[in-house]
Every structure is written in structure tokens, then in C-alpha cells.
Amino acid sequence: MKGDGREGASTERPAQTEALGAALASRLQPGDVVLVSGELGAGKTTFVRGAARALGVTEPVTSPTFTIGQRYEGRVPVSHLDLYRLEGVEDEDPALLEDYLRADSIAFVEWPQAAAPALDRIAARVEIRHAGGDRRDVEISYG
């Protein structure tokens, strides 16, 4: 991950949120972890889908439902975690996250709070907020 700082943008369509994900993806390297926060329906998975596409993932990118995460094959391996149902990592098997947070992979984590103590190599934090209708405010901080 190159560069530090903070960027804000407003989107009016899902495709624009995907494009922001794609732009972020171009700055990522294997081992990087991206935290994606926001309410249900904010567009976290939409953002991750755009990033995953840009990383060469061709299979459908949807929110993991029955597992905490999914692995995709792209030009680099991509992990997509959704920790909505996870209360905290303290009580969990440490191996739970290990399959996803790997040095060879780029990982995107929705609802990251529960795993905060276990997440290092955080390259970027993405915060998405509803701003009325289809408008979303997307803030990305790096480093």
C-alpha cells in the first residue's frame, strides 16, 4: 500500500461505489487488509465487489452468509469476511481468521469491530454512510 491520507467521495449509483473499490484495489498489495464499515445496506459488499473485480475475481461476490468469509481467486487471492455475527475474537479459535488473513492474500473485512485485536496490516479503512436515496458518502483513510 502506497501513500497516506484521507479521501472522501459521494456516489449516486452502485456502479460508482464499485468504481471506488476498484480504485482502491489498484493500490493494494498481498497481505493488505481493508476494513469496510457502515450500516446494513450501506454498500460495503458493493464496494468489495468492485475491488474484487479489479483484482481479477470473476465469480459472484456476495455477502458470505453461512460462513464468516469467502476466498476468491483473482490475480491475487482475495478474502472477503463479514463478521456481523461475530461477537469478539477472544472466545474464538484463532485459526478462524487465519484462513483468510494471509500474507499472500488481500482481505476485505465487513463489520470489522469484532476482530479488531486480531487485525494487523490494515492498509485502508473505508466508511460508507447513507446520504438519502441512492446517495452514499464514502470515506477512505489510508495508512
C-alpha cell at position 3: 501513500
For residues 125 and 109, give the distance between their C-alpha atoms in angstroms, rounded to a whole number. 10
C-alpha cell at position 43: 454498500
Which C-beta is closer to ligand ADP: that of 8 or that of 30? 8
Q: Among residues 127, 118, 44, which one has the least CA distance to residue 80? A: 44
Place of cell 481468521: 97
Select the residue interacting with Mg ion from 16, 24, 44, 125 (CB under 5 A).
44
| Residue least distant from ligand ADP (Cβ) | 43
Which C-beta is closer to ligand ADP: that of 12 or that of 87? 12
Q: What secondary structure letter does DSSP report for 28?
A: -
Q: What is the dihedral of CA 56, 57, 59, 63, to 10 degrees?
A: -150
Site string for ligand ADP, 80-119 (x = CB under 6 A): ------------------------------x---------
Site string for Mg ion, 76-115 (x = CB under 5 A): ----------------------------------x-----
Q: Which residues bind ligand ADP (CB under 6 A)?
A: 11-14, 16-17, 38, 40-46, 63, 110, 134, 136
